[in-house]
DNA sequence: ATCTCTTAGTAAACCGCTTTAGTATGTTTA
DNA sequence: TAAACATACTAAAGCGGTTTACTAAGAGAT
């Protein structure tokens, strides 16, 4: 055994310490501290004695030992492509909040949209015995499914079965955003998306196409651009140039990162066009509130997403019950 | 013992399983799997046999058991006021990255600037036996210091001794930002800050005052406003009204949240003034790049902050060595 | 022929908790 | 007056690892 960091001058009290000092067995101490004293017929005096001593020693349970013994760590994982993306960090905050309410802690990690990194993270987390994971996956997660880890997907999903999945009405939202642009007079709308192999992104593209068709506009494949996640800066830049060469009069960005980057580039390279072109974006950003140009955006219900994810996960962990999928509505913010 | 989630149909192999299947003791398996086979005189054949079987069974170590035994969890905590604040979430991402490089996982939590919540989080984390914590504290953390948990402070610090602390040159940066505003013709600069009991905030205020004095401008206390963290929206709104009543021609915001809120409000209530007033903000926001009005901001070196925090923490954890404080430089981005 | 070294391992304690299957004593009930 | 029951507790195994202190067998040195 290694020395732990307390042993040199201060030993963290364990239930053994309490047991010795109160003259009862470890078993009794464990029962009392877990509030099972009455159920287990421990007399009131003994219970009081144990509790007093625990308090006096400022006893804190070793959660690791507890977890090892119970096969439950009361810790969940939150795995996303990039925790510094405001969309994800807002949800992280809320997940943390709802998890804490139930005594769970949260480990986070970013996958960078890389399947190998995702796999590594999931392995590290399951080895740490997390009880479940909330994830915006980058790939199919087959091997973790096999390991039978309770899991809730959000934002995207690769399973054929729409199990344990929290998402938004992607195609409808894209349809509405496109409709707004058309309503503002746009006739030629460029779409800047990414990772079009992601189901949620595909739905967004479908919504966009639907809106065009409904309004008698052409679907022009050269106006639909798929950016490489690993080359966002460069790819968005060439997308902007290309689309403006095609003389688009509106942009639909499929997420906040693309929108922020794209708008910045239009500002930089084509300031004369900035007032003539309309912008719409999936995901809201706080700054859209005051920044120019005005951007029409789709606000995802972060709080509901987080709450549903946590609830679904706990349903799996605690009740061994699977959930179906939930599709939440976005709020279109017109500016 | 509870059944763990595998037991119904699939038992996770343990070193015991490997030991049985390879006909050696648990001890030997442990040595081999930890790469100490040669050191411990385990023959090459035995090592190969053990490793092969481990691989075939797809053995994954139970990190909890390991941690319990070793008194080390290879997990650290990252505790900030609000993980959804981009300043913190960016650092979180980097901390996660540097921690992962060394095989550590990261638990995060938000304190909401509330000391009781901070204390609860720290208790939950230490009970989970984290090896150390990187924290932007809201209070003095006396009790955790007593528990002897390796800890690195960043952004702010309440200890008299400047130990294990990563920060930026607050007063110099505030001075420079103020100077920039003056250089743009401002004569009456309103300061919107918060939590002025925080040492780092105080330094920023000092820098602001210094710049005024150096330029022969008056320090007017009624232009220095302290916002209540729990009432940011309301307080910033009244601050803006009050300062504009005083006819300020420049704003210095002491962090990104205040800046975003303040600029939005000026835009909303005083659009006619937006081009006449100059804005400067501590912390950069991506949107400052393209948003109007132009904001001069101080970019904190997130990567260096994160790297230094992680390094300092590991110095404490692994080498039992304390570090002094590091003060990093910001980059002023003029717009 | 004995002593010492090296090689190749292993038994068992331990980390701190939970839980099962008891025990011992007194109290009812038939 | 023995059997059944309730009360108040406990010993010990187990979770899955790590580590210390040994053992047993063969090789080399004296």
Query: Which nucleotide lies closest to A42 by the C1' atom and the CA atom?
Result: D8
The pLDDT value given to residue A6: 39
How distant is C1' of C25 from CA of A43, in Å?
Answer: 15
In this model, does residue B8 exceed pLDDT 50? no
* Closest Cα in chain B to A12: B147
Chain D: positions less than 7 Å from a protein CB are 7-21
What CATH topology corresponds to A2-61? 434 Repressor (Amino-terminal Domain) (1.10.260)
Predicted local distance difference test score (pLDDT) of residue A8:
38
Number of other CB atoms surrounding residue A9 within 10 Å: 6
Min Cα distance B181 → chain A (Å) is: 21
Q: Which segments in chain A show pLDDT lower than 70?
A: 1-10, 142-147, 290-291
pLDDT score for A278: 95
A60 CB neighbours in chain B (<8 A) are 123, 126-127
Sign of CA dihedral B283, B285, B289, B293: negative
Peptide bond into A302 cis (omega under 30): no
From residue A231, alpha-carbon distances to A81, A186, A283, A304 in Å are: 15, 28, 20, 31
pLDDT, position B54 = 97
pLDDT at residue B110 above 80?
yes
Q: Nearest nt to A31, CA vs C1'? A: C18
- The answer to whether A264 touches A239, Cβ cutoff 8 Å, is no
- Could you tell me the two tokens for B248? 């300020």
Distance CA A51, CA B155 (A): 39
Asked whether the beta carbons of residue A292 and residue B287 sit closer than 8 angstroms, the reply is no
Same fold, B72-166+302-327 and B170-299: yes
Neighboring chain A residues of B119 at a CB cutoff of 8 Å? none
Mean pLDDT of chain B: 91
Q: Give one DSSP letter per residue of B258-323, joined into a string.
A: HHHHHHHHHHHH-GGGTTTSEEEEES--GGGGT-SS-EEEEE--HHHHHHHHHHHHHHHHHH----
> Taking CB atoms and an 8 Å cutoff, what residues of chain A touch B123?
60
CB contact under 8 A, B107 and A109: no
Given this model, what pLDDT does residue B7 score? 37
Tokens of B212: 């005024």
Give the N- to C-terminal CA distance of chain B in Å, as an integer. Answer: 63
pLDDT of residue A22: 96
Nearest CA in chain A to B265: A290
Nearest to A208, CA basis, from A227, A225, A233, A228: A225
Annotated domain spans of chain B: 2-61, 72-166+302-327, 170-299
Tell me if B64 sits within 8 A of A68, measured CB to CB. Answer: yes
Q: Is the CB of A72 under 7 A from strand C?
A: no
Q: What per-residue confidence (pLDDT) applies to A10? A: 65
Burial B246-261 (b: 16+ CB within 10 A, else e): eebbbbbbbbbbbbbb
- CB burial of residue A315 (10 Å; 0-12, 13-18, 19+): middle
Residues with Cβ within 8 Å of residue A35, at least 6 apart in sequence: none
Residue B22, both tokens: 């390879």
Footprint of strand D on the protein (CB under 7 A): A 1-2, 23-28, 31, 40-43, 45-46, 65, 68-69, 71; B 1, 4, 12, 14-16, 26-27, 30-31, 33-34, 60-62, 65-66, 68-70
Q: Tokens for A288?
A: 């859209």
Nearest CA in chain A to B60: A127
> Which range is least confidently modeled, A7-11, A306-310, B158-162, B258-262?
A7-11
Question: Phi, psi at residue A283, to the nearest 5°?
Answer: 70, 140
Confidence of residue B3 (pLDDT cuts 50, 70, 90): very low
Report the range of poorest mean pLDDT among B62-71, B108-117, B218-227, B258-267: B258-267
C-alpha A304/C-alpha A328 separation (Å) is: 8
Using alpha carbons only, what angle is made at residue A237 by residues A233 and A239, rounded to the nearest 5 degrees?
120
pTM higher than the cut 0.75: yes
Give the nearest nucleotide to B26, CA to C1': C10
**A192 within 8 A of A181, measured Cβ to Cβ:** no
Within 8 A of B148 by CB-CB distance, chain A residues are: 5-6, 10
Rounded distance between C-alpha atoms, residue A192 and residue A203, angstroms: 14
Instruction: Give pLDDT tens digits for B200-252.
Output: 899 999 999 999 999 999 999 999 999 998 888 899 999 999 999 999 999 99
CA–CA gap between residue B79 and residue B88 (Å, rounded):
9
Confidence of residue B142 (pLDDT cuts 50, 70, 90): low
Across A132-146, A211-225, B165-179, B291-305, least confident range: A132-146
Of residues A283, A286, A275, A261, the one with CA closest to residue A332: A283
Which residues of chain B between 201 and 240 are close to nucleic strand C, CB under 7 A?
A: none
- Give chain B positions within 8 Å (CB) of A104: none
Q: Please give, rounded to a whole number of angstroms, the shortest distance from the CA of A33 to a CA of chain B.
A: 15
Cα–Cα distance, A177 to A325 (Å, whole number): 24
Q: What is the pLDDT of residue B4?
A: 42
Q: Fold for domain A170-299?
A: Rossmann fold (3.40.50)
Q: Residue A124's closest chain B neighbor by CA?
A: B105
Name the superfamily (CATH) of residues A72-166+302-327: Response regulator (3.40.50.2300)
Distance CA B246, CA B235 (A): 16
Neighbours of B320 (CB within 10 A): 10
What integer pLDDT is reported at residue A2 of this predicted model? Answer: 44
Confidence (pLDDT) at A4: 42
Give the single-character DSSP code of B11.
Answer: P
Q: Among all strands, which nt has the closest C1' to B16 (CA)?
A: D16
Residue A143: what pLDDT? 62
pLDDT at B320 over 80: yes
Q: Output DSSP code: residue A223.
A: G
Write down the residue that tokens 């400052």 correspond to.
B288
User: Nearest nucleotide, C1' to the C-alpha of B28?
Assistant: C9
Find the CB nearest A108 among B70, B108, B264: B108
Instruction: Indicate if the pLDDT at residue B76 is higher than 90.
Output: yes
The per-residue pLDDT for B2 is: 45
């Amino acid at each position: 055994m290694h020395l732990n960091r307390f042993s040199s001058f201060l030993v963290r009290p364990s239930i053994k310490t309490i047991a010795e000092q109160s003259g009862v067995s470890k078993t009794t101490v464990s029962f009392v501290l877990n509030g099972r004293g009455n159920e287990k017929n421990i007399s009131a005096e003994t219970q009081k004695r144990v509790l007093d001593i625990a308090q006096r020693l400022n006893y804190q349970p070793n959660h690791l030992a507890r977890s090892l013994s119970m096969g439950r760590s009361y810790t969940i994982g939150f795995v996303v492509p990039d925790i510094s993306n405001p969309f994800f960090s807002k949800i992280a905050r809320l997940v943390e909040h709802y998890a804490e309410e139930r005594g769970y802690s949260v480990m986070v990690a970013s996958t960078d949209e890389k399947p190998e990194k995702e796999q590594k993270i999931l392995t590290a987390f399951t080895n740490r015995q997390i009880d479940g994971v909330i994830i915006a996956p980058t790939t199919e997660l087959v091997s973790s499914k096999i390991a039978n880890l309770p899991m809730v997907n959000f934002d995207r999903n690769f399973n054929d079965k729409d199990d344990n999945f929290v998402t938004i009405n992607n195609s409808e939202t894209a349809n509405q955003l496109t409709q707004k642009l058309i309503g503002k007079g746009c006739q030629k709308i460029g779409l800047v998306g990414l990772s079009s192999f992601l189901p949620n992104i595909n739905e967004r593209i479908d919504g966009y196409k639907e809106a065009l068709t409904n309004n008698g506009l052409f679907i022009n494949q050269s106006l639909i651009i798929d950016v490489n996640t690993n080359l966002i800066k460069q790819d968005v830049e060439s997308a902007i140039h290309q689309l403006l060469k095609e003389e688009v009069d509106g942009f639909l960005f499929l997420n906040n990162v693309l929108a922020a980057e794209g708008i910045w580039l239009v500002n930089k390279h084509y300031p004369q066009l900035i007032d003539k072109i309309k912008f719409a974006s999936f995901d809201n950003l706080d700054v859209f509130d005051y920044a120019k140009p005005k951007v029409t955006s789709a606000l995802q219900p972060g709080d509901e997403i987080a709450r549903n994810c946590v609830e679904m996960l706990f349903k799996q962990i605690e009740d061994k019950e699977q959930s179906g999928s939930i599709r939440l509505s976005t709020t279109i913010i017109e500016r």
